[in-house]
Structure 1
């Protein structure tokens, strides 16, 4: 249950962190189409904001709508706050709203551990069995493949067997594109690279990104 003071704080956080320059709209594929100059400006501001926002404020944003959750997930990815791993996994699995799931996948991919692979695999186990739903299956598979390549693991293999869950999902309604799974891994890798660029501008040292495999 939300109280008036909670809603007031959320609105303040939206004005400070989510709405400026319509940040929430640019967090995703739009980043990859920016000019070098615009991207440098954006990542600098994103990194600074990710370092300024507190964990409690991130928690408030994660309790908001898709715009707030998407922005919070990117802040979490940029600042490497692995304490939010389980929360992001729960939000991804619940899939209660649109547009934020890709950001959860990016954050889990930046954390870079087998625990993150497990959360992505749990999502795929549930939602690849629903070919009628077009949620964040592509982003989740891309993130899992990216982690497999970095960790030398094969967690995505069971989904990609002939006539396996991935193929069943692709073949089911509604019509879905048939890009190679590696295309989705490459897309998530490019978004993670943007998160890495932004991480270089995080000023609060206590939020420095953990190294791959830690956290």
Structure 2
């Protein structure tokens, strides 16, 4: 079993968010999973231009590291998103990455997978950021098993204090992959998204016959 974490802080190894993600991964490893963390700041992922070329043939016009990253996400059994809070939202690196996931979202390329989300902040915005990260997981077709955010500004010990809960979240993610996990509210949201994206799949069926066949086989059309 492979758990892949995608970390959005530009501080990479110096990031408190990365440490929180590492706690989650440690819990997953304790439960028997193989884990990997990717620092977005170490990759070249350029902003989306909104050209919609990817919808036609699944290939982005930008020649960067995004396609390889999506391939690794598809190979993983579960995904963790981790970002610091910058001006009440995810980091710029994470937002550019999310915007470039349009094709993976439209074609539900992570359907059937699980995930979770974490964030660190100085004072506020953490709950909203993990909710947004989970929203993106649902857009991709994945179900989140939970989230956690910690505020470090008034409590220097908050990161260390969060380690047991973060490890428990990692173990919960592994259990979901092994045994399944259901959340009717998320599943209803995913089904609603999929009904909307079906029009894109049908419109481009001649250009993306394999994707159309996958959707048809899954009963989504």
TM-score tier, shorter chain, comes to: 0.3 to 0.5
Q: TM-score, normalised by structure 2?
A: 0.34
Which structure: greater helix fraction? 1
Q: TM-score, normalised by structure 1?
A: 0.35
Greater share of strand: 2
